[in-house]
Every structure is written in structure tokens, then in C-alpha cells.
Structure 1
Amino acid sequence: MLFNSVDFAIFFPIVFVLYWLLSRNLTSRNILILVASYLFYGWWDYRFLSLIIISSLVDFVVGKMIYKAESKKNKKLLLCISLIINLGFLFYFKYTNFFIDSFINAFALFGKELNITALNIILPVGISFYTFQTLSYTIDIYRNQLKPTNDALSFFSFVAFFPQLVAGPIERASHLLPQFYVKHKFNYNNVKTGFLLIGFGLFKKMVIADRAAIVVNQVFNNPELYSGVEVVLATILFAFQIYCDFSAYSDIAIGAARTMGFDLMKNFDSPYFSKSITEFWRRWHISLSTWFRDYVYIPLGGSKKGKYKTYANLFIVFVVSGLWHGAAATFLIWGAIHGFIIVLEKATNKERKKIYNKIGLLSNKFSGKLFFSMITFSIVCFAWIFFRAPSFDTAMTLIKSIPTNNFIIFFTDDLYKLGLDRYQLVILTLAIITLLMLEIINRRKNLVVFLKNQLFVFRWMVYLSIIFIIIVFGVYGDNDTSQFIYFQF
């Protein structure tokens, strides 16, 4: 079930009303959440509900057994059971065909053709997200950082919690699970800010992301037809498409959860204003980057075993992150680019600061912030080419065509071949500028608090304007009403 669908527009108000009617009875409330979550997920394909149930059951039982186990050996054995089952599902559905194709290509290099075909495997929506969420539970128990729960209903509801089930944020049990043990009191401010976040998320998804998708799909699916500024424009629009698409999901998830009294972690923090790739990853998909830090980078040794080992660990984490996003060489390259730049930033940190000081390019000045933000955004956009391209050859075709100059497109009817006319392109540009301005203001002064302190008439003018824009330019505008990008991961 999509957040931007009529189905969800009917589903969520019903769940919201029933939730608060049952809120005094904790058991009834959690039963409602679990049933609603399974209905939400099963709306896509009920057959894959079994995977969520199995993962939940395995980690609920294994978590209790790890806590009771007396020897370190038995604890490790039990943790391995959880890892094998959960990662086994993930690898089968997500990576089987990748390794089959790699195996075939490896033999083809030596002139040997294998008569093997890829399997017809459907990737379950959100499997990477709920797998990481349940794994963090058992790993934290193994590390003695968390005690297992005896409340099966709360645990199953925690794993399947519908607002963030499919595309995060990836929550830790230590933060979200205890919220299923307490009765939440109806809070008007939480409900109001929650629906405001939902509205803002729908604006980003339906007005910006889905409109940008038209140009992006046109160029990336037909790379031989485009060059120069067309490729640059499509790449920049993809940067905003994926950000608005993914952060919109997080906004709606956080907002929906907040209306029911739940607090989900922040997943994005204006990442395109970052002044380095290191800072970018502190602001982009925060729940995933912190997950990799805690469960991959630190177990590898983190920064405790010398600088070269630290560089290797950082690079490995980003290559693994690339593989997590998709079973393709393009995702590995995307992860490797980010890993390489972060290692380079860390290795040259002192030297770069000295150079910047000498030439007067300080990061705390406006000129410095603008310069470093533009450089960082350019690197991120270049890496996005590999992320979005359907193949390595497509990515290279697009990159090679960038030096070609064809700025005349903006003054001729050739603009139509990008899929959007000038009117729609202006709407998209204004929407992106509005988004960036709102993020700048929000970093200086919380917009929710700001609106809260305004007159009733002004607040409702803002609310009604958001609804109007979503309906006119989102529901009835020229856009590609596709599912959220991160559903495929």
C-alpha cells in the first residue's frame, strides 16, 4: 500500500480513529497495530507476510535464548542462527540472480558459455529494512546492550509497525520497542504536527519527485538520445527526485507514527547543504548510516587499529552499503565512490585546512560554505549517475556525453523531448527552490514551532495552501505516479 494512494487515504484515518478508541487498552491497541501492519504489507502481496512473521518469531525466540545462554560459545551459536536465517532470506531474494549472472560472466571471460538462466525471483518490498531492524535486536542482546522482551505482541508489532515497515527509518529496539509498552495519551499538538509532516511529505513526493521522474526516466532510459546539459539537468533532477522521494516516505512515516503517539528517529537533515561527503552521510539516511557504523564499522575495528585499517574499514562499509542498495555493479561503484572520497577527506583533513586557511576559503564563511556545498553536491550528483543508471554501460554513455554543449535546448521546442514543457519545468524549479528555502529557514528556526506561534488564520492559510498545491500540481499535475524508489531496496 502506497502512502500517496487512495487506499492509504482510506486506510489510515480508519486506523487512526480505531487506535484512539482502543488506546486505553494496551493489548487491544497493539493487536490493532499488528493487524493493520500486516494488512498494510499484505496489500502488496500477502504471500510475503510469512517472511516477516518468521523473522519476528526467530528473533523473539533467539533473543531470549541468547540472554539465558551461559557460555560465550552458545551465545555466538544462537546469534549465528539469527544471522543465517535473516540474511539467508535477504541474500536469496536480493542477491541470488546477481551471483548467478556474475558466475556466468566470469566463465564467459574465458570463452566458456554456461547454459544457466536466472531465477524468476520477486523481491519482497522492504525486506532489507525489517531484516536490519530485527537483526539489531538480537545483536544488541548479544552485546548485553539490551534485555529481551517477553511481550510477543509488542515485539511483533515493533517489527511490522506499518508507518516505517517498508522503507524506514530503520529503528532500534531500544528506542521504539518500549513505546509499545506504554499507553499514549491523545496530544493535539502531536496530531497536528504529524499531519503537517504527512502533508509536507506528500508535497515532496507528488509535486517534486514524481514530476522530476519524467525527465529522469526519459534521459536515463534513452542515454543515446541525450547529451550535455540534458544529462546534467536529468542528473540534478534525479538528486532531488531520490531525496524528495525517500525523505517524503520518512516524513510521512514519522508523521503518521506521531499522530498515534509514537516517536521515530529523524532520517534526513538537509543533506544537500553538506560541506563534505563525510557530513553528507551524517545527514543522509541517518538510520542506515548509523546502523552500518554500529554493526559493521565498529565490529571491523572502527578507528582503533591505526589509520590505514580505519581507511580500509570505512571503504568496506561503503562498498557494503552499495551492495545493500542493490545487487549490481553500478551500486558497488556508487558505494566505492563515496567510500573513496570519505577516506580521502579523512586522510587529507589537516593538509586541506591549511590550504583553505592560506587562500582565505574558510568553511565558516558564507563563501566557504557555498563553495564546499557546491563541490559536495557535484560529487554526490556524479555518483548518482551510477546509482540510477540501469547498467554500467549506460552510466558511461551518460558521463561521456556531458562535455557536449547544447544549451540551446532551453530556447527551442527540443525541450519537449525531455518530457516536460516549460510550464511544468518552471513549476518543478519553483517547488525545488521552495523546498530549499524551507530547509534553510528550518535549520535556523523550527518551522513547526514557528507556525505554532502564528495567528490561527495564517496557520490555516499555510495548511490549505499545502493541500491546494498537492491536489493541483500533485494529483492532477504532469507526473510519474510511481512507487517510492526505496521500495526496491
Structure 2
Amino acid sequence: MLFNSLQFLVFFMVVTLWFYSLQTQKSRNLLLLVASCYFYMSFVPKYILILGFTIVIDYLAGIQIARATGKSRRWWLILSIIANVGILAYYKYANFIIDNLNGLLHLSSSSQGFDALDIILPVGLSFHTFQAMSYTIEVYRGNQHPERNFATYALYVMFYPQLVAGPIERPQNILPQLHTFSNYNWDNIKEGITRMLWGFFKKVVIADRLAMVVDYCFDNTATASWYVLAIGAVFYSFQIYCDFSGYCDIGIGAAKVMNIRLMENFSQPYTAVNITTFWQRWHISLSSWFRDYVYIPLGGNRKGAFRRRINVFIVFLLSGLWHGANWTFVLWGGLHGLLVTIFPSNNKQTTRTNHIIKAIITFIAATLLWIFFRASNTGQATDYIANIFTLQKGSNALGINIVELVLSILLIATLLITEYRRKNHLISSNKVFYVYAVLMAAICYWLGVFGENQFIYFRF
């Protein structure tokens, strides 16, 4: 059930109306849990069993960690981590490991190599795995009391607005809200709907329109001219931003309608003046997860500059691998790690002109690295970049007509201006809210690109 589908809109409205008809928090949580199960099962129903298994393990581990003393506390934490990482490794990385083993042995699956496993990656596995681990780690650290109500804990992991593509939440934020009954709040509903409409706009009007050019460029890397490839790379930077942040806007807005506040996952990343700042603004929930649970335990910046650089590089390699079982993602993460270690953030005040220049340079760097993220293999990525810098001559076609190209550029400009000027998504005037809602719905209907356009981050 994709967010950008009529099925989801009907599902959301039914669940929300039913939610507000219930008069106890327990009944509301049960409704949201059942709805979240239905939402998850709309993708591949059998994988609810995997999610259910990890939920049971982590629920019991959290209780036992709080009860136990001494080394046994750590063993319960290790059990939780092994269960989560083990499932993630099997479904996401098993075939990647097999492919590379066959390559090292110069074998293929058709000869005497290892046969690939017939497995499908469960949707959102990387997201809810990390969210589940944050719970047991926080209980172990003494920062979170164990959740005794199984349904409430299950809802913490499965809450449908952020289940399959984040934000990766923390128990300290979500669990207290699941224990607090909240009355109907019109401001929250307006803000939530406004946020959802903005997310739909970013996804179906901008991201899916830019995807037509991006797909054409990556399908024609060898024959397209260098500036067509450059346009495709820039468009992909905005496609992936609008696609991923659009999903988060819809999810955050849907939760807000039900008085549940999710963490922000983006903060104008393409205005960052260096790669370090970029990562403080892009996929914030993942960056903070790796900071708190990997970087700091490795020693952070407490053991000297060289060790800090090593720790940063390890984190970015793992971040790349988290995104996908492909060397393109490992290279993407590793190159980001190199840039962060070479060009650390500084808080020096700069002139407006210098700020703009640094932001443009950072955007260009991020855009070039996104090519690795989008390419199907490292060869295609390096060819794509080489064809840009060698000023390859070739076809000037973009896969769309001039009207669509101009419209795409205008939409990107609208995005940048709106997100730069907007402070929040609350429209205080009811009249303005109604006009905005009707106008945005009409724009999405008239200018939207509809079809089976899955969100990019669903595959992670």
C-alpha cells in the first residue's frame, strides 16, 4: 500500500475517523496496531511473521535487561542485537556475500559456485530493525524503562506512518505519546493535513516527474551528451530528496493528525555549506542513530584526531552498507566519509556570498556522489561521471519535451523557495487552510505523475 495511492488515502481516512471515535488510549493503540499490521501485510503478508518474531524477542529482552543484574543484562542485549542483525544480514546481504564469494573463486552459480538464495527483502527491514535495536540499547543504558504492555511496544515498532521508511524513532519520543490520551486538536489536524499535502506534492508532482529524465539518462549513459547527463544527475539529487522527504512529510503529517509527533528527518540539506553539515540535515534519524550507537561507542572524538577520522569513516561505510547490498552503496558511503574527515565542519561566520558559493560546491559534491547511489553498478557510475567530465558528445534528448523540462525547473525553484521561507506547516486561518488544501489537491491531481512509482527508500 503505497502512500501515493488511493488505497492509502481511504485507509488513512477510515483509521483516523475510527481513531477519534474511541475514548480510551488502550483501544486507540489496539486500533493503530491492527491497522499497522494490515498496512504492512499489504506488501508481502508472510513477512509479518518475521517482524512479529523480532518484536517478541525485543519485548522480552527489554524486560529481562531491566530485571537482570551483572553480565546477564549484556547477554540479553546481545541476544536482541543478534536476532535483529541476523535477520537483516540474511535477507539483505546473503546474496551479496554469495555473489562476491563466487567472484573471488572465479565461479558462477551455473558451474560449481554457491547458488543464490530465493529470498525477497522485506519492505522497511533496515528501518524497523534499527528502531527496535534502539529500544533495547536504551533500556540497557538505563535511559528507558521497559515497556510492559506488549501491544504498546509492538505499536512502537510498527506504527504505520513511519514503519517502512522512517524516520527511525527513539522510544523516549514515541512510547510516552502512546500512553497519553489526547483530545481532538484542530490545529494539529490542519498542520498534519498541510504537511501531508506538501509531501504528496513533492512525491507525485516533482519526484516522479524528474524520474522520467533521470531514468532516461541512466539508461543512456553511453550515448547521451555530457550536459544531458549533468542535468540527469542534478535532477536525481532533487528526485531523491523530494521522494524521501515527501514520504516523511506524509508520514509525519499522518501521525500529527492523530496527535503523535514524529521527529524531523530533513532540514534543507542542499543549503549545507559542507558535507558534514549536509549529514546533519539529511536523514537525520539515521545519522543520529549511527552517532549514538556506533560512533560514540567506538570512542567518538575522545581518542585523538586520527582515531576520530577512523571512527567517522567506519560509520559512513556502515551507513552506505545499510542502504543496500551493492558496492555502489559502499563506495557512496566511503566517499562521503572521506569528505567528512577531510573537510570537517567549522562554525566560522562567512559572508552571504561565501555561504552561497560553499553551498553550491557542497551540492555539486553531493550530486556527483548520488550517481553511485543511483547507478546499478560501479562501472555505470564511473562511466557516467567520466562522460560528464570528458564532455562526451552525443544525443541531446532528455526523454521529455521542452514544456516538461521548463515545468520541472520551475517546480524545483518552487520547492527551494517554499522550503527556505516556510517555518512550519501550521496555517492558522481556517479559510486559508481550506483554500490551500483544495489548491494543493488540484495541483497534485492535474500535474501529478501517477502509476506504480514506489518510494525509493522502500527498498531499504
TM-score range, shorter chain: over 0.9
Q: Deviations over 1:124-157 (max 9, x none)?
A: 0001000001100101111111110111111111
**TM-score calculated relative to the size of structure 1:** 0.90
Aligned partner of 2:434 in structure 1 is 460
1:107–1:114 Cα contact (<8 Å) kept: no
Distance 1:76 1:51 in 2: 24
Asked whether the 8 Å contact 2:92–2:325 carries over to 1, the reply is: yes
Query: Within 1, Cα distance between the matches of 2:73 and 2:264?
Result: 32
In structure 1, C-alpha distance between the alignment counterparts of 2:321 and 2:340, rounded to whole Å: 17
Is the Cα contact below 8 Å between 2:77 and 2:137 reproduced in 1? yes
Match of 1:426 in 2: 406
Question: Quick one: which of 298, 301, 304 aligns to 2:299?
Answer: 301
How far the C-alpha of 1:419 sits from its partner, in A, is 1.9
Return the offset for 1:9.
1.3
**1:486 matches 2:457:** yes
Equivalent of 1:267, from 265, 268, 273? Answer: 265
Aligned partners of 1:176 and 1:27: how far apart in 2? Answer: 15
- For residue 402 of structure 1, the aligned residue among 366, 379, 388 is 388
SS in structure 2 of the partner of residue 301 of structure 1: coil
Give the distance between the partners of 1:316 and 1:458, measured in 2 at CA: 49
- CA–CA distance in structure 1, aligned partners of residues 406 and 424 of structure 2: 25
Please list every run of 5 or more consecutive structure 2 residues that lacks an aligned counterpart in the other structure. none
**Aligned residue number for residue 359 of structure 1:** none
**1:191-340 alignment runs, 5 A limit:** 191-340=189-338
Residue 90 of structure 1 aligns to a residue in which SS? helix
Paired residues, number: 457
> What displacement does 1:77 show?
1.1
Report deviation, 1:49: 0.4
User: How many Å apart are 1:345 and its aligned residue?
Assistant: 1.3
Judged with a 3 Å threshold, the aligned counterparts in structure 2 of structure 1 residues 438 and 335 are, in CA distance, closer, same or farther, namely: same
Q: Which residue of structure 2 lines up, in the alignment, with residue 369 of structure 1?
A: 355
Contact 2:66 2:140 (8 Å CA) reproduced: yes
Q: Give the letter for the 1:376 counterpart.
A: T
Deviation at 1:158? 0.9
CA distance in 2, matches of 1:194, 1:408: 47
Q: Is the 8 A contact 1:42 1:48 kept in 2?
A: yes
Distance 1:480 1:10, change over 3 A: closer
1:253 and 1:457 map into 2 onto residues whose CA distance is: 25
CA distance in 2, matches of 1:288, 1:459: 33
Shift of 1:463: 2.7
Give matches, 1:13-92, under 5 Å.
13-22=13-22, 24-71=23-70, 73-92=71-90
Unpaired segments of 5 or more residues in structure 1?
354-361
Equivalent of 1:172 in 154, 165, 170: 170
Is residue 219–residue 225 contact of structure 1 (8 Å, CA) maintained in 2?
no
With over 3 angstroms needed to count, the CA separation of the structure-2 counterparts of 1:327 and 1:406, relative to structure 1, is closer
Is the CA contact (8 Å cut-off) linking 2:25 and 2:180 kept in structure 1? yes
Aligned to 2:419: 439
Question: Contact between 1:67 and 1:148, CA under 8 Å: does it hold in 2?
Answer: yes
How far is the alpha carbon of 1:480 from its aligned partner? Answer: 6.2
SS of equivalent to 1:99: helix
RMSD: 1.8
Please state how far the C-alpha of 1:435 moved relative to its aligned partner.
Answer: 0.5
CA contact (8 A) 1:227 1:398 kept: no
**Could you say which residue in structure 2 is the equivalent of 1:356?**
none
Aligned residue type for 2:165: A
Which amino acid in 2 is paired with 1:389?
A
Structure-2 residue corresponding to 1:472: 446
**Alpha carbons of structure 1 residues 62 and 307: separation in structure 2 relative to 1, 3 Å:** same
Whole-angstrom CA distance in 1 between matches of 2:431 and 2:167: 34
2:114 maps to a residue whose letter is I
Q: Which residue of 2 aligns with 1:162?
A: 160
Contact 2:224 2:394 in 1 (8 A): no
2:375 to 351, 366, 389: 389
Secondary structure at the aligned position of 1:44 is classed as coil
For the Cα contact (< 8 Å) 1:126–1:167, is it kept in 2?
A: yes
- Cα deviation digits, residues 12-56 of structure 1 (max 9, x gap): 10000000001x212211110000000001011110001111111
Aligned AA (2:92): K
Q: Residue type matched to 1:193 in 2? A: E
- How far 1:101 moved relative to its partner? 0.8
Q: Are 1:214 and 1:480, in contact at CA under 8 Å, matched by a contact in 2?
A: no
Deviation readout 1:150-200 (Å, 9 max, x if unpaired): 111111111110000000000001110111111011100000010000000
Deviations 1:423-458 (A, max 9, x none): 11111111110000011112xxx2535x42x5x554
Give the Cα–Cα distance (whole angstroms) in 2 for the partners of residues 403 and 180 of structure 1. Answer: 53
Alignment of 1:79-118 (within 5 A): 79-108=77-106, 114-118=112-116
Does the aligned pair in 2 maintain the 1:211–1:480 contact within 8 Å? no
1-structure distance, mates of 2:169, 2:148 = 19
The amino acid of 1:11's aligned partner reads F
Match of 1:2 in 2: 2
Residue 329 and residue 9 in structure 1: after superposition, are their counterparts in 2 closer, same or farther (change >3 A)? same
Q: Which whole-Å deviations, capped at 9, do the CAs of 1:341-361 have from their partners, x for residues lacking one? A: 000013xx78xx9xxxxxxxx
Q: In the TM superposition, what whole-angstrom CA distance separates every residue of 1:286-308 from its partner, at most 9, and x where no partner exists?
A: 00000000001011111111110
Structure 1 residues 65 and 435: CA distance shift in structure 2, 3 A: same
Do the aligned partners of 2:226 and 2:391 also contact (CA within 8 Å) in 1? yes
Between the two proteins, what is the percent identity of the paired residues? 41
Kept after mapping to 1: 8 A contact 2:226/2:394: no
Distance 2:115 2:200 in 1: 41
Q: Name the amino acid aligned to 2:277.
A: E
For the residue of structure 2 that corresponds to 1:87, the secondary structure is helix
In 1, Cα distance between equivalents of 2:114 and 2:59 = 39
Q: Is the 8 A contact 2:124 2:164 kept in 1?
A: yes
Cα displacement string for residues 316-343 of structure 1 (whole angstroms, at most 9, x for unaligned residues): 0000000000011110000011100000
